[in-house]
Amino acid sequence: MTPLEFDQKHLWHPYTNVEKPGPTFIAKEAEGVWITLDDGTRLIDAMSSWWCMLHGHRNPTITQAIHDQLDRLPHVMFGGMAHDPAIELGQKLLEITPPSLQRIFYCDSGSVSVEVAMKMAVQYQHAVGHPGRSQFVTTRSGYHGDTWKAMSVCDPVTGMHHLFQGALSIQHFVPQPPIAIDQEWPEDPALNGIAELRAVLEEYHKQIAAFILEPVVQGTGGMYFYHPEYLNQARALCDEFGVLLIFDEIATGFGRTGRLFATDHTDIEPDILCMGKALTGGHISFATTMTNDRVAQGIGNGEPGVFMHGPTFMANPLACVAAKASLDLLDQTDWQANVTRIETALNEQLAAARDLPNVADVRVLGAIGVIEMDHRVSADQAHALAHDMGVFLRPFGHNIYCMPPFITSDDELSAICDGMLRLAREL
């Protein structure tokens, strides 16, 4: 049996048919934007390996930080212990996130950080005398992860809620925010989506702990960029109805949208903020959930006082130093200029797709480029075709998209755009 045959027979891959897995290539090593396969083929990682490889693969500063920490303290339990990597990362996070978010919970992955956020909201409401507030409101077309509670607030259609009926918590859905980021914001609540949000909160607020959503960019649920004013007004409604506001910045954090956080496109601050994906520059799994004093003190002063969560690998030192190194790199490099450069190139080069017959829309925000087709695109066909062009692309649903590492050169960006345009022409 070849290694690849073993893989196909025994290993699950994400969202893949175990009996009929699509084209799969064996990656041997990677550096910068390049992934080298076992046959020597090199591919540009236009996905930043699922949106996390911010500074490119195998960044020497990050790998060195992990090496050094590995020789000192690879792990220690966080119950009753603290360590410099966790403290130094915490100090850095407080510098760059909204000022009201002063309390940090470290966890293993994005989905877990969403679980933690939702649990915080329910436990807070319980602690302050609202035990009935245990449900959530969210927008359609959202995505928050694959664990149960996170899944319950994913889009009911693309998240296949019918498949899990009876197993998923029932939540409240409002329409996708209807005004796109580049449209003029209409003040009429009947047009801008705020009327529907108000209606749900008016009717159900006594059962709702929090409003959870991805600020400005809906990722997996449709690669859609909406108007930040929606979030300013949602904040006011949440306050009016005693509902917490949770921002899931797992996809948008660390510069991807052109601001350090998507929250920075708004005038407000959430009560709880989830981060993951690019937190360690993609080098090791890690996530955080940050909250404000109000939520933390509410939980701390209530019953049972302790917050009921504590992963085995909480605040893993290797992950903490990787995250700290990645954030320092962001400081030291002109990431904003790079994102602007990428945004300009994507805008210029993807525009050609507008004239293709089956293209519904082309949109770019920061270092995210999307060609939306009028039909579903086969990820397998796209993967094989892009591989032949030396690019790693994995569309989902109707969207052929890229999220390149910030270090991607102009020539590499052109190769990515050529690949995307070919997929849009041929698939």
Ligand X SMILES: *Cc1c(COP(=O)(O)O)cnc(C)c1O
* Residues contributing to the annotated binding site: 50, 110-111, 143, 248, 277, 310-312, 394
Shortest Å distance, C-beta 144 to ligand X: 5
Q: Give the largest Cα separation in the chain, rounded.
A: 64
Q: Does 115 bind ligand X (CB under 6 A)?
A: no
Catalytic one of 248, 264, 271, 401: 248
Point out the annotated binding site for substrate: 50, 143, 277, 310, 394
CB of residue 334 to ligand X, shortest distance in Å: 25
Q: Which of 296, 295, 262 is nearest to 367 (CA)?
A: 262
Question: CA geometry: angle at 296 spanning 294 and 302, to 5°?
Answer: 95
Binding mask 134-153 for ligand X (x = CB under 6 A): ---------xxx--------
CA 86, CA 263: separation in Å to the nearest integer? Answer: 24
Angle at 390 between CA 384 and CA 394, to 5 degrees: 45
Token digits for 283? 């080098």
Task: Tell whether omega for the bond before 60 is within 30 degrees of 0, i.e. cis.
Answer: no
Q: Does 412 help bind ligand X (rule: CB under 6 A)?
A: no
Question: In this chain, which residue has its C-beta nearest to ligand X?
Answer: 110
Q: How far is the CB of 410 from ligand X (least distance, A)?
A: 27
124 touches 296 (CB < 8 A): no
Nearer to ligand X, 151 or 353 (CB): 151
**CA 422/CA 46 separation, integer angstroms:** 14
Taking the least distance from each CB to ligand X, the nearer of 89 and 114 is 114
Which of these ranges, 164-172, 187-195, 212-220, 352-360, lies near ligand X under the rule CB under 6 A?
A: 212-220
Whether 248 contacts 217, CB under 8 Å: no
Q: How far apart are CA 162 and CA 174, in angstroms?
A: 18
230 annotated active-site = no
114 touching ligand X, by CB under 6 A: yes
Closer residue to ligand X, CB minimum distance, 379 or 415: 379
How is the chain split among helix, strand and coil, in percent rounded to 5?
A: 40, 20, 40
3-class secondary structure, 180: strand
Q: Which of 97, 220, 292, 338 binds ligand X (CB under 6 A)?
A: 220
Active-site residue 277, yes or no?
A: yes
Catalytic residue status for 143: yes
Does 109 bind ligand X (CB under 6 A)? Our answer is yes
Residues contacting ligand X: total by CB under 6 A: 15
Residues in contact with ligand X, shown as a per-residue x/- string from 269 to 298 under the rule CB under 6 A: -------xx---------------------
Query: Residue 263, interface with ligand X (CB under 6 A)?
Result: no
- Name residue, tokens 């032949």: 388
Site string for ligand X, 381-410 (x = CB under 6 A): ------------------------------
What is the C-alpha to C-alpha distance for residues 41 and 43, in angstroms, rounded to an integer? Answer: 7
The answer to whether residue 401 is catalytic is no
Q: Which of 244, 227, 223 is nearest to 235 (CA)?
A: 244
- Determine how β-strand 135-139 pairs with β-strand 101-107: unpaired
**Which residues are near ligand X by CB under 6 A?**
109-111, 114, 143-145, 214, 219-220, 248, 250-251, 276-277
Q: Which residues are catalytic?
A: 15, 143, 248, 277
